[in-house]
């Protein structure tokens, strides 16, 4: 009997060419599909569907995927059964059975991302793949918070979307942008109903330019309204970004 | 003019075959000596002397070394000058000029090490090289603290020293052993006037066996007195160990 499973996973994106399968590249999806295919003794690949892709070097602490299984492994052993075969930079945190119409991508209600800058004058060697170094620059977080107010709400986010994506409808709702210092690291969390390609990294890069005095916070109003990618700031680097949580209807 | 320099460095031990130069291996010492030799445009290797070695995969957040320099780089630029050339898994935190008779090894008054166990049921992929996983086992820390009392003080630590070291005098003083939970990670810090080969890892492994009920805390008295390595517990794995601080006379 087929069961639809929802898996919550974490991965260290450092050594992956992103989430999605690409020929000749090491990807998160391929590693998981390899293990599932072996476990199912299947001639065809057992496919998994994620809430969305993540780019090379981007991390996840709460990515969600679904797949269909014919195995009778008890639910409370399923994560362990996967983890013993998966490489150690991917961990399955939880596996649950869901309704057959649950879809990891189409059922998404919202997502939360985290972006981390390490503002120590010398970045800890232990953080070199896990936060974006600022070489000791400490931004004006209150200016970043002010600027973030113009991003909140429902807008056409074309100005915050990498060019050349196939997506037509670029209207999204950003529910919350929050900042918190953890020692000398600045964390920004962004929550919304959906995100365009590179959207969080462009938000991070643009707010960083406000925090470091290259832009003033009120500029954000015009940037959002412009729907023009060239008006926004640089795309912040991938290594500071984490997909933290995917929300589904209860 | 020659100046003697004291450098405090941090390194991620994951991709090193330890601190000390070994033929055909990547070591911390060799990476630093390569950079210093190039900077000095020297035909001979500019040697550095550390407070002591660390093993493969052992980390450092406060290793100390000394070297002699003929360069006129200002002190406040010296660390930066090294960091721009060093690989990113080694960072120089501080460089200062010291008296010509300062010796990073012979002048040591004491050291502090940290040992980290990650006790989550599924270890975070971000911690796989930086803490020892316990697969969800949470030890009885009060038993570990009791057992640690027998290690404190001045003893012949032969029972806590890897066999086949050249060292004759195995009397050392352990000043403090402390435990602290950081979320689901258990940290142990050990401070003393000096440490034998693998001593902290054998202390960690033995106290872990107490914490997980394989030994009782009072056994430690006999283990210390035995001066017999085979009476103590297993050597805890390298990836959980950090050289945190080296003390010198003021």
How far off is chain B from A25, nearest CA to CA, in Å?
Answer: 20
How far off is chain A from B58, nearest CA to CA, in Å?
Answer: 12
Q: How confident is the model at residue B84 (pLDDT cuts 50, 70, 90)?
A: very high
DSSP 8-class letter at B184: T
- What ranges in chain A are assigned the alpha helix state H? 28-39, 75-83, 141-148, 199-211, 219-226
Tokens 């390595």 belong to B229
As a whole number, mean pLDDT of residues A155-172 equals 90
How far off is chain B from A125, nearest CA to CA, in Å?
Answer: 5
Closest residue of chain A to B61, computed from CA coordinates:
A124
Q: Is the dihedral of CA A55, A59, A63, A69 positive or negative?
A: positive
Q: How confident is the model at residue B94 (pLDDT cuts 50, 70, 90)?
A: very high
Hey, where are the domains in chain A?
Answer: 3-98, 110-247
Contact B240, B129 (CB under 8 A): no
Task: Count the helix, strand and coil residues of chain B and give each as a percent rounded to the nearest 5.
Answer: 25, 30, 45
- Mutate: best of B12, B81, B125, B128, partner A, most A CBs <10 A: B125
Quote the CA–CA distance of B151 and B175 in Å, as a whole number: 9
Contact B202, B180 (CB under 8 A): no
Quote the CA–CA distance of A112 and A175 in Å, as a whole number: 10
- Percent of chain B's residues with pLDDT above 90: 95
Please count the other Cβ atoms lying within 10 Å of the Cβ belonging to residue B205: 19
As a whole number, mean pLDDT of residues A202-225 equals 98
Q: Where are the beta strands (DSSP E) in chain B?
A: 3-11, 49-50, 59-69, 90-98, 110-118, 132-133, 153-156, 171-182, 185-192, 241-247
Residue A165 has pLDDT above 90, yes or no: no
Alpha carbon distances (Å) from A184 to A59, A181, B84, B183:
20, 7, 21, 19
Residue A82 has pLDDT above 80, yes or no: yes
Contacts of A15 (CB under 8 A, 6+ apart): A26, A89
- A99-123 tens-digit pLDDT: 999 999 999 999 999 999 999 999 9
ipTM of the complex: 0.92
Contact B125 A93 (CB under 8 A): no
Nearest CA to A90 among A65, A60, A111?
Answer: A60
The two beta strands, B132-133 and B110-118, are: parallel
| pLDDT at residue number B157 | 97
As a whole number, mean pLDDT of residues B122-139 equals 97
- Mutate: best of A88, A126, A131, A135, partner B, most B CBs <10 A: A126
The tally of CA atoms less than 13 A away on the side-chain side of residue A216 is 1
Q: Does B76 touch chain A (CB under 8 A)?
A: no
Contact A91 B125 (CB under 8 A): yes
Average pLDDT, chain A: 96
DSSP 8-class letter at B186: E
* CATH number for the segment(s) B3-98: 3.30.70.580
Q: How confident is the model at residue B58 (pLDDT cuts 50, 70, 90)?
A: very high
**Architecture of domain B110-247 in this structure:** 2-Layer Sandwich (3.30)
As a whole number, mean pLDDT of residues A217-227 equals 97
- Do domains B3-98 and B110-247 share one topology? The answer is yes
As a whole number, mean pLDDT of residues B135-143 equals 97
Q: Please identify among residues 130-159 of chain B the ones whose CB lies closer than 8 Å to any CB of chain A.
A: 130
Q: Does A106 touch chain B (CB under 8 A)?
A: no
Q: Does B59 touch chain A (CB under 8 A)?
A: yes
- Check residues B1 and B151 and name the one with the higher pLDDT: B151
């Amino acid at each position: 009997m087929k069961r639809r499973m929802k898996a919550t996973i974490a991965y260290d994106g450092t050594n992956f060419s992103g989430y999605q399968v690409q020929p000749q590249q090491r990807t998160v999806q391929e590693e998981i599909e390899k293990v599932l295919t072996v476990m199912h003794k299947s001639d065809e690949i057992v496919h998994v569907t994620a809430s969305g892709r993540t780019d090379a070097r981007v991390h996840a602490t709460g990515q969600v995927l679904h797949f269909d299984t014919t195995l009778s492994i008890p639910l409370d052993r399923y994560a362990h059964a996967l983890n013993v075969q998966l490489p150690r930079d991917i961990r399955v945190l939880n596996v649950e059975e869901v309704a057959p119409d649950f879809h990891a991508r189409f059922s998404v209600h919202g997502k939360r991302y985290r972006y981390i800058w390490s503002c120590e004058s010398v970045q800890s060697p232990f953080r070199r793949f896990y936060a974006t170094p600022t070489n000791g620059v400490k931004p004006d977080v209150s200016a970043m918070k002010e600027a973030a107010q113009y991003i909140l709400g429902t807008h056409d986010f074309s100005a915050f979307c990498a060019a050349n994506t196939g997506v037509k409808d670029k209207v999204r709702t950003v529910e919350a942008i929050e900042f918190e210092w953890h020692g000398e690291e600045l964390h920004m969390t962004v929550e919304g109903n959906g995100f365009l390609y590179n959207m969080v990294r462009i938000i991070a890069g643009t707010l960083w330019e406000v925090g470091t005095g290259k832009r003033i916070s009120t500029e954000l109003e015009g940037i959002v309204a412009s729907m023009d990618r060239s008006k926004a700031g640089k795309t912040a680097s991938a290594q500071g970004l984490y997909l933290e949580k995917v929300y589904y209807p209860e």
